[in-house]
């Protein structure tokens, strides 16, 4: 690892340079909260942010996405035949993403990219994007990344990790892609030892405050059917109003719906975020619904994230501890508490 | 000058997706698993007297698509109608029948209702094949008991045609079939049923819940009852059962009584689906996606999963 | 723009306003051809979703007409409708739909002249506002 | 601790141990500042988990439709008005309810407080004497409670429960001289084009999560129009026309039924002021029909009744 140091002005200049050649996306403050958006000017970028309200999953899996287009014109020989809709896959740099969110993309990869099927939109967007992370010097009270196997300085899923060391940033290239990005952005001055030391100290203090709230392994060790039939779900589900807030804000909730829309004789096949919280999600054409009850849907969400995913892929839980659902659930259902119940490491 | 190559590089430099990297340079060549193969409706046959079930015979527009559509009895496909959407339907034809696919579709929702109004010659799409299939490797050399009810007979038809194919027939032992519907007019594939009835290499037990047709020459009674009466032997045998939940519920104890262990009772499940390839997330039962890890499960496997289907 | 002619959907109740339209036709009264009539059993049957659907399809105006108060075939359907429509029109206009885009009238089956006159007024008003710009569902604007 | 907490617990314990009700619906203390969780107490012991403070903004009436048991329920003024609507609409029988009235001084707006803190994170929040004491890492601030009320609470004129069986505290003085419709008039002063753009901006962040719909005690249709497919009234993407259609129809379905409890706005994860739609209807219902929602068990809901002399100036 050859860490680089760049002062804050220097980073801005490098970003401006990047912006001339590719799309640069970063956290900007819009209205009431931060969101990832393509930068129009470097001044929009706000690297002092805590985290974005919505996860950056929409960079790879937008809420609404055009998959195919087609014509229904009767006289057109191509009528009814679907064509892939054009998309912008030009090179893109995402700046300042938090390590938890970057880790989330790795977890999502297991879903979108399997041995048999590769989701082309996910893959092409992932491929054309370089992720430059920003370490969390001050995690929030709702963060629990270290509990679920990532951390405020985790490099997993990133190409470069930036650490804000006060007067500038230490940039650590993580991948070959990251190395090249730094080189081509003109960032070459090696970080002095005291900067590295500072970054290390920041990491220690950030991690210290986080601790471990429940055991992921304990949940893995539970019998799936016993967990499924556990009595605590009744209490967990009571407050839930079955809105899509948790699933839509979550960086590892990838479920989607596919819908056709027609306008005149032109049609689109679109995909859009869907949520296991919605009754229609599993509603059969026959009227039968295997998850017709709120309890079943709430249980599904937590079981999927914390148990099924572990059992299926053996790489931890499908949660990165970003805390968005904890902060924004309108009725204060707290995944940390649910996980504690599931791991039975506390008697609440 | 910035080359921007760092972000647009090929897969070689991209971690975590070894599987893709292994499949070679795919850019613009990768098969889009969501893209249906265009097909033409060759014929539409109304199967039942209530006109709620029609069989669509589909022919691929591009012969190379047909070559890629390699399937086994028990699999399903997404039927795609541009402008309306897709529905997952079991494949009713057998891979031994070349040149077309058959799907029998029940009219329930937006897409299936539209399909019912489509005619021969119209263009639609098929995406698949999807899911797993009846365990043909395990069934080799075994007796096969097929139990079906109502319109869930589609992939069972595929299986029967497949097994009766002269090239395949020697691979299986005795084949017996219990197939029931509410009334004679609601049975699917009536001509084929009659033809199978006349053969001696397949034991057919066709039944209806009731009928006032004096010419009805087959059984009368519910599928579980008829299964019990005909008592197909469980020795060296597998049972494949598809039908409405209530039929399955009452037939399973009969099969157990006949001596079929849970790992030799095979069933196929239905679930609301969208992508059909295990990605969109809605059709899971516990860890298993019905669209990709199913739809075919043994009773033994189902017993390990949450009862949520 | 010069040869633009508005498309207007008219929801007419079966018993009165539709009869009025019928009589206008039989009496050979002239009214503009911009009106597309949808016959409904009662003005009370008109769900706001119908009006929204019409706007989403891109019509330039919606005209709803039923029996005069007190004359409803179902005794009081139009009284309920009147309350619904008042609020509906208010909210639509509050959200930026131009006043005049959505119009309401009471026309009996004997009022052929009034039907033709009102049709002209409806069309003139919509013409004055111009082509519909809002609430039209086009190809989805997605990322 | 708020005095109501003790009283609510005492009442709940009594109701449950005397078998007057099967369950009590209230709040328990949240896991994060500014939040409490709706809670269902089934035993007298569980009643001791009930809690009250200025962050009980969730409208508990939302948990009533389709319940068949006897329910004790904590109700602020707005919650009780929603219960009135539900009783009128036959969603819950009055005699299944034991309403524990909680005269209310307004609920606090966590989004407003967060905005005031400008990115600093609150770790604890306590209410005391009209102040909210907030502590975070390396800071402490006292905020004036009145300035951080939910917007609907700031203009509320029915803080006392309308129907109740018992009170958790003394009735409060109702606010007078509040301007309930300033925001509506502000929009009314705009041209059509300005209005259209105003609402475009307003709903631009919508992610179609339906939190506004689901938080609403009055949204209990077995199948929402959003989920109807034959015909499909509205697309499900974030296309602006579809988003607008959703918000329009959602609001319209609440015409004459909305109590301005603010549950929708409070629930919105992206901070859309969705009350701007329903407020207009509320104002019109009052202006046209002289009706205020949820105040009386006798009067029929305004769209379920009529007067021959109802205003019809809008009819040609």
pLDDT of B38 over the 70 cut: yes
Closest C-alpha to A52, from A131, A122, A177, A140: A140
Tens of pLDDT, residues A88-101: 999 999 999 999 99
Running DSSP on this structure, what letter comes out for residue B276? S
Interface test with A, best of B281, B285, B301, B307 (most A CBs within 10 A): B281
Q: Above 60 in pLDDT, residue D77?
A: yes
| B271–A256 CB contact, under 8 Å | no
Confidence of residue C129 (pLDDT cuts 50, 70, 90): very high
Question: Any idea where the domains of chain C sit in the sequence?
Answer: 8-129
Position B13 scores a pLDDT of 34
Nearest CA in chain C to A260: C140
CA distance to partner chain B, nearest, from residue D256 (Å): 33
* A30 touches C at CB < 8 Å: no
Give the chain C residue nearest A262 (alpha carbons).
C139
Percent of chain B with pLDDT over 90: 85
Nearest to A190 by CA among A174, A175, A171, A176: A171
Angle at CA of residue A108, ends A102 and A112, nearest 5°: 135
Beta-bridged to residue D166, according to DSSP, are: D100
Q: For B7, which of A119, A129, A225 is closest by C-beta distance? A: A129
Question: What does the H/E/C string look like for C12-44?
Answer: EECCCHHHHHHHHHHCCCCCCCCEEEEEECCHH
Q: Say whether pLDDT at B28 is over 50.
A: no
Fold of C8-129: Rossmann fold (3.40.50)
According to DSSP, the residues that pair with B87 across neighbouring strands are: B79
Mean pLDDT in consecutive groups of 10 residues from the start of chain A, 348 residues: 90 93 94 93 94 95 96 92 94 96 96 93 95 95 95 96 95 95 91 94 93 92 93 95 96 97 95 96 92 96 96 94 96 95 66
CB interface of D with B, residues 218-237, below 8 Å = 229-230, 232
Is the pLDDT at D280 greater than 90, yes or no?
yes
Instruction: Report whether pLDDT(B24) > 70.
Output: no
Q: Does residue B52 register a pLDDT over 50?
A: yes
Q: Does C57 lie at the interface with A, CB-CB under 8 angstroms?
A: no
Strand partners, B267: B241, B297
C-alpha R_g of chain D: 20
* Whole-angstrom distance, CA of residue D12 vs CA of residue D51: 11
Residues in A closer than 8 angstroms to C142, CB to CB, are 62-66, 270
| CB contact (8 A) between residue A261 and residue C139 | yes
Averaged pLDDT, C14-38:
96
Mean pLDDT, range B69-76, rounded to an integer:
96
- Closest to A269 (Cα-Cα) out of A278, A257, A284, A280: A257
* Tokens 């407050």 -> residue: A239
Measured CA to CA, the distance from residue B134 to residue C16 in angstroms comes to 63
Nearest CB neighbour to D195, from listed C49, C88, C94: C94
**How does DSSP classify residue D145?**
G
Best interface-test mutation with A: which of D46, D214, D272 has the largest number of A CBs within 10 A? D214
C143 touches chain A (CB under 8 A): yes
Contact assignment for A64 to C140 by CB distance below 8 Å? yes
Test the B interface: residue of A21, A61, A117, A180 with most B CBs within 10 Å: A117
> Would the pLDDT of D230 be above 90?
no
Q: Over 50: is that where the pLDDT of B9 sits? A: no
Average pLDDT in the D190-216 region?
A: 96
Mean pLDDT of chain D: 95
Strands of chain D, DSSP E: 23-29, 36-41, 71-75, 97-101, 122-128, 131-136, 139-144, 166-167
- Which pLDDT band holds residue D3 (cuts at 50, 70, 90)? confident
Give D81→chain A minimum CA distance, Å: 20
Sign of the alpha-carbon torsion through A152, A155, A160, A163 = positive
The C-alpha atoms of residue D276 and residue D272 are separated, in whole angstroms, by: 9
- Tell if the CB–CB gap between B280 and A256 is shorter than 8 Å: yes
Span B70-92, average pLDDT: 96
A272 in D contact zone (CB under 8 Å) = yes
User: Average of pLDDT values for C83-108?
Assistant: 96
> Who contacts D213 (Cβ-Cβ below 8 Å, separation ≥6)?
A243, D219, D224, D226, D250, D264
Neighbours of chain C (3+ CB pairs under 8 A): A, D
- The subunits that touch chain A, with at least 3 C-beta pairs less than 8 Å apart, are B, C, D
Please, do chains A and C touch (3+ CB pairs < 8 Å)?
yes
| Chain mean position to CA D157 | 14
Distance, CA of A177 to CA of A130 (rounded, Å): 7
- Condensed to tens digits (0 to 9), the pLDDT of residues A235-284 reads 999 999 999 999 999 999 999 999 999 999 999 999 999 999 999 999 99
Beta-bridge partners for A29: A34
* Distance to chain D for B79, nearest Cα, Å: 18
Distance CA A20, CA A13 (A): 11
* Closest Cα in chain A, distance from residue C128 (Å): 26
Is B19 in Cβ contact with A113 (below 8 Å)?
yes
Residue B1 — very low, low, confident or very high, per pLDDT cuts 50/70/90?
very low
ipTM exceeds 0.90, yes or no:
yes
Q: What is the pLDDT of residue A226?
A: 92
pTM of the entire structure? Answer: 0.93
Q: Is A266 an interface residue toward C (CB < 8 Å)? A: yes
Do B127 and B77 touch, CB atoms closer than 8 A? yes
Instruction: State pLDDT tens for residues A181-219.
Output: 999 899 999 999 999 999 999 999 999 989 899 999 999
**Contacting partners of chain B (3+ CB pairs under 8 A):** A, D
pLDDT at A1: 56
Q: Which of residues 261-290 of D touch C (CB under 8 A)?
A: 277, 280-281, 284-285, 288-289
Contacts of A130 in chain B (CB under 8 A): 6-7
pLDDT at position A211: 87
Question: What does the pLDDT average to over B41-63?
Answer: 95
Whether C139 sits inside 8 A of A268 (CB atoms) is yes
- The verdict on A16 touching C (C-beta cutoff 8 Å) is no
Quick one: which of D122, D109, D126 has its CA closest to A141?
A: D122
C80 HSE (CA, 13 A, CB side): 17
Instruction: Please report all neighbours of D, defined by 3+ CB atom pairs within 8 A.
Output: A, B, C
- The pLDDT, as a whole number, for residue A344 is 83
Nearest partner of D277 among D236, D247, D256, judged by Cα: D247
| A149 CB neighbour count, 10 Å cutoff | 18
* Chain C residues with beta carbon closer than 8 angstroms to that of D303: 80, 83-84, 87
How many other C-beta atoms lie within 10 A of the C-beta of residue D300?
Answer: 12
CA distance D236 to chain B (A): 14
Query: Minimal CA–CA distance to B309: which of A284, A295, A308, A229?
Result: A284
Residue range B10-16: mean pLDDT, rounded:
34
Residue of C87, C96, C142 lying closest to D237 (CB–CB): C142
């Amino acid at each position: 690892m050859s860490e680089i140091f760049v002062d804050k002005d220097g980073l801005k200049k490098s970003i401006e340079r990047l912006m001339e050649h590719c799309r640069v996306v970063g956290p900007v403050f819009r209205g009431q909260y931060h969101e990832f958006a393509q930068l129009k000017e470097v001044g929009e970028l706000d690297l002092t942010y805590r985290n974005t309200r919505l996860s950056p999953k929409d960079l790879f899996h937008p809420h609404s996405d055009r998959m195919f287009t087609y014509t229904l014109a009767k006289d057109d020989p191509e009528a009814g035949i679907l064509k892939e809709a054009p998309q912008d896959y030009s090179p893109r740099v995402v700046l300042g993403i938090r390590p938890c969110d970057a880790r989330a993309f790795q977890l999502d990869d297991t879903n979108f990219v399997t041995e048999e099927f590769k989701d082309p939109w996910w893959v092409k967007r992932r491929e054309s994007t370089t992720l430059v992370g920003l370490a969390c010097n001050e995690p929030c009270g709702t963060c629990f990344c270290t509990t679920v196997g990532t951390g405020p300085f985790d490099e997993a899923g990133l190409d470069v990790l930036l650490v804000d060391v006060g007067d500038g940033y230490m940039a650590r290239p993580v991948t070959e892609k990251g190395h090249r990005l730094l080189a081509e952005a003109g960032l070459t001055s090696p970080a002095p030892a005291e900067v590295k030391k500072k970054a290390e100290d920041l990491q220690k203090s950030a991690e210290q405050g986080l601790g471990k709230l429940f055991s992921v392994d304990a949940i893995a060790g539970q019998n799936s059917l016993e967990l499924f039939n556990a009595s605590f779900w009744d209490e967990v589900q009571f407050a839930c109003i079955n809105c899509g807030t948790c699933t839509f804000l979550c960086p590892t909730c990838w479920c989607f719906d596919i819908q056709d829309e027609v306008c005149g004789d032109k049609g689109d096949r679109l995909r859009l975020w869907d949520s296991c919280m919605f009754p229609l999600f599993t509603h059969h054409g026959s009227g039968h619904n295997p998850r017709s009850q709120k309890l079943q849907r709430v249980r599904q969400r937590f079981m999927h994230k914390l148990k099924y995913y572990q059992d299926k892929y053996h790489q931890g839980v499908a949660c990165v501890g970003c805390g968005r659902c904890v902060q924004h659930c309108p009725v204060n259902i707290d995944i940390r508490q649910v996980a504690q119940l599931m791991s039975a490491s506390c008697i609440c | 000058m910035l080359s921007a190559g760092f972000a647009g590089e090929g897969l070689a430099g991209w971690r975590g997706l070894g599987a893709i990297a292994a499949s070679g340079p795919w850019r613009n060549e990768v098969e889009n698993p969501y893209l249906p193969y265009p097909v033409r409706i060759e014929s539409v046959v109304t199967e039942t007297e209530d006109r709620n079930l029609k069989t669509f015979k589909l022919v691929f527009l591009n012969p190379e698509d047909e070559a890629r559509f390699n399937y086994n009895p028990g699999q399903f496909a997404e039927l795609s109608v541009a402008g309306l959407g897709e529905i997952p339907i079991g494949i009713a034809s057998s891979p031994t029948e070349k040149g077309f696919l058959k799907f029998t579709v029940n009219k329930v929702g937006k897409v299936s209702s539209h399909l019912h109004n489509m005619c021969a010659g119209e263009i639609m799409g098929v995406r698949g094949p999807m899911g797993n299939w009846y365990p043909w490797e395990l069934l080799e050399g075994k007796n096969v008991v097929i139990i079906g009810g109502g319109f869930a007979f589609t992939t069972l038809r595929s299986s029967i045609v497949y097994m009766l194919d002269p090239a395949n027939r020697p691979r299986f032992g005795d084949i017996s079939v219990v197939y029931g519907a509410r009334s004679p007019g609601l049975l699917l594939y009536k001509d084929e049923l009659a033809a199978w009835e006349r053969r001696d290499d397949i034991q057919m037990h066709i039944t209806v819940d009731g009928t006032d047709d004096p010419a009805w020459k087959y059984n009368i009674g519910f599928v579980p009852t008829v299964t019990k009466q005909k008592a197909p032997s469980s020795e060296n045998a597998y049972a494949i059962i598809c039908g409405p939940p209530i039929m399955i519920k009452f037939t399973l104890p009969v099969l157990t009584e006949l001596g079929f262990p849970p790992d030799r009772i095979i069933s196929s499940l239905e679930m609301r689906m969208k992508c059909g390839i295990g990605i969109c997330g809605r059709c899971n039962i516990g860890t298993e996606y019905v669209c990709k890890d199913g739809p075919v499960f043994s009773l033994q496997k189902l017993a390990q999963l949450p009862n949520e289907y | 723009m010069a040869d633009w002619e508005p498309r207007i959907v008219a929801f007419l109740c079966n018993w009165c306003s539709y009869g009025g339209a019928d009589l206008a036709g039989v009496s050979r009264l002239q009214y503009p051809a911009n009106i597309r009539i949808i016959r409904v059993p009662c003005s009370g049957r008109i769900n706001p979703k119908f009006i929204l659907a019409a706007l989403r399809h891109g019509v330039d105006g919606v005209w709803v007409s039923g029996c005069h108060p007190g004359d409803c075939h179902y005794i009081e359907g139009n009284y309920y409708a009147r309350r619904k429509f008042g609020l509906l029109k208010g909210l639509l206009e509050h959200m930026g739909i131009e006043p005049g885009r959505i119009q309401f009238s009471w026309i009996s089956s004997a009022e052929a002249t009034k039907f033709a006159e009102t049709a002209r007024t409806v069309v003139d008003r919509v013409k004055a506002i111009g082509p519909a710009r809002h609430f039209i569902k086009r190809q989805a604007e997605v990322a | 601790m708020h005095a109501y907490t003790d009283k609510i617990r005492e009442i709940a314990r009594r109701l449950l141990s005397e078998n007057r009700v099967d369950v009590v619906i209230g709040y328990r203390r949240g896991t994060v500042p500014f939040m409490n969780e709706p809670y269902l107490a089934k035993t007298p012991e569980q009643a001791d988990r009930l809690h009250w403070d200025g962050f009980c903004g969730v409208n508990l009436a939302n948990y009533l439709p389709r319940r068949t048991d006897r329910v004790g329920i904590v109700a602020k003024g707005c919650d009780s008005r929603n219960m009135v609507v539900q009783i009128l609409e036959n969603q819950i029988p009055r005699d299944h309810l034991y309403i524990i009235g909680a005269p209310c001084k307004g609920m606090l707006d966590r989004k407003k407080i967060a905005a005031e803190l400008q990115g600093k994170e609150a770790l604890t929040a306590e209410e005391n004497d009209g102040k909210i004491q907030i502590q975070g890492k390396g800071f402490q601030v006292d905020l004036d409670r009145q300035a951080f009320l939910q917007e609907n609470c700031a203009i509320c004129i029915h803080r006392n429960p309308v129907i109740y069986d018992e009170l958790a505290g003394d009735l409060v003085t109702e606010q007078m001289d509040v301007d309930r419709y300033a925001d509506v008039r502000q929009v009314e002063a705009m041209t059509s084009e300005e209005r259209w753009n105003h609402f475009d901006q307003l709903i631009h962040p919508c992610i179609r999560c339906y939190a506004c719909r689901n938080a609403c005690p009055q949204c209990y249709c077995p199948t929402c129009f959003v989920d109807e497919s034959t015909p499909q009234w509205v697309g499900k993407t974030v296309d602006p026309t579809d988003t607008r259609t959703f918000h329009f129809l959602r609001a319209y379905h609440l015409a004459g039924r909305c109590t301005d409890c603010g549950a929708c706005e409070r629930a919105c994860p992206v901070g859309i002021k969705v009350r701007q739609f329903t407020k207009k209807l509320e104002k019109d219902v009052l202006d046209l029909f002289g009706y205020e929602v949820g105040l009386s068990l006798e009067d029929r809901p305004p769209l379920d009744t009529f007067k021959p002399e109802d205003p019809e100036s809008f009819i040609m």
